[in-house]
Amino acid sequence: MNLEQCSSSRQAYRAVARHLSEPRLSSYVTVAGNVTDAVRLYRWNVEMSGAIYEALGLVEVVLRNAIDRELQKWNLARPTPTGEPPYGTNWIERPAPPLWGVLNKRTRRGQVVSTYATARERAIKDSSHRDPSHPRRHHLPDHDDVVAHTTFATWVRLLPHKREADGRAGPGPQRGLWTHALRHAFPYKPDPLVIHHWANRLYLLRNRVAHLEPLVATDVLGYHRSAARLLRAVDPTIGDWYSSISRIPHVLKKHRPPG
């Protein structure tokens, strides 16, 4: 028997509300008008957050694989200084310039923050936390593992994100990467600033969803469309497939928030 069927549902909803805490539930009460409907709205928010997280998980996988494919080819083809070995396909561990500068940022104290080292550390930690029966428990991470543990923010940072004074997309390093490599990852949308806009807004949404922030005033259908458009920029087939399986429109229609 669920709360909707319980004869003492009002008391049950109030009990749930106590555990969710007044500060967290207050924004829902403001929209819903009472505690019972606020808890229902919170339940809708949880379900919508799950649907969005599923969508963003797929977007991130497709995005990173598309970028990884092109950067492997680009990095392998880059000329190396005399006497040094080729850069190779492992662009995240040994990136050629200007990619090195994008992936290795200096702090104000002059310390280098390595994308590779950070992602590899996360991969090692996840490997050690695998179930004892897992065949790859404690395995040292390979290139694919490190790429999979690279943050969504990194993929966004690789893209040009502003219009320079001369009208070209920038900054310069990202423009070069786009021109010689990343544009091939998005053959169906050759505008880097639009690609960045879609990717960045989805990245920012993921942070909100991860913390179960209220979505009642959020244009979730707009984010759903951004996800589909970004995927179609890679390949229309994957974008159409996403649109056919995404739960976001269904959850929005089935549990539309009051007001």
What's this model's pTM, rounded to 2 decimal places? 0.90
Overall average pLDDT of the 131-143 stretch: 90
In this prediction, residue 146 has a pLDDT band, given cuts at 50, 70 and 90, of: very high
Q: Do 98 and 176 contact (CB within 8 A), yes or no? A: yes
Question: Of 144, 142, 141, nearest to 126 (Cα)?
Answer: 141
Q: What are the b/e assignments for 153-189, b being 16+ CB within 10 Å?
A: ebbbbbbbbeeeeeeebbeebbbbbbeebbbebbeee
Of 34-38, 150-154, 222-226, minimum mean pLDDT range: 34-38
In a domain, 85, yes or no: yes
In a domain, 122, yes or no: yes
pLDDT of residue 257: 53
In a domain, 217, yes or no: yes
What's the pLDDT tens digit per position in 201-238? 999 999 899 988 999 989 999 999 999 999 999 999 99
**Which range marks the domain in which residue 82 is found?**
54-246
Q: Do 109 and 86 contact (CB within 8 A), yes or no? A: no
Rg (C-alpha) for the chain, rounded Å, is 22
In this prediction, residue 1 has a pLDDT band, given cuts at 50, 70 and 90, of: very low
Q: Report the alpha-carbon distance of residue 35 to residue 13 in Å, rounded.
A: 7
Question: Of 222, 233, 227, nearest to 246 (Cα)?
Answer: 227
In a domain, 108, yes or no: yes
In a domain, 220, yes or no: yes
Bigger pLDDT: 139 or 71? 71
In this prediction, residue 256 has a pLDDT band, given cuts at 50, 70 and 90, of: low
Q: Report the alpha-carbon distance of residue 162 to residue 164 in Å, rounded.
A: 6
What is the percent of the chain with per-residue pLDDT over 70, rounded to a whole number? 95
Q: What is the DSSP letter of 183?
A: G
In a domain, 83, yes or no: yes
Question: Of 225, 185, 168, 183, nearest to 201 (Cα)?
Answer: 225
| pLDDT exceeds cutoff 90 at 16 | no
Overall average pLDDT of the 135-143 stretch: 91
What's the total number of domains in the chain?
Answer: 1
What is the β-pairing status of strands 112-114 and 104-106? antiparallel
Bigger pLDDT: 186 or 15? 186
In this prediction, residue 8 has a pLDDT band, given cuts at 50, 70 and 90, of: low
How far out from the chain centre does Cα 13 lie? 34
pLDDT of residue 143: 97
The secondary element (H helix, E strand) that includes residue 104 is strand 104-106
In a domain, 16, yes or no: no
In a domain, 29, yes or no: no
Output the average pLDDT for the chain.
92
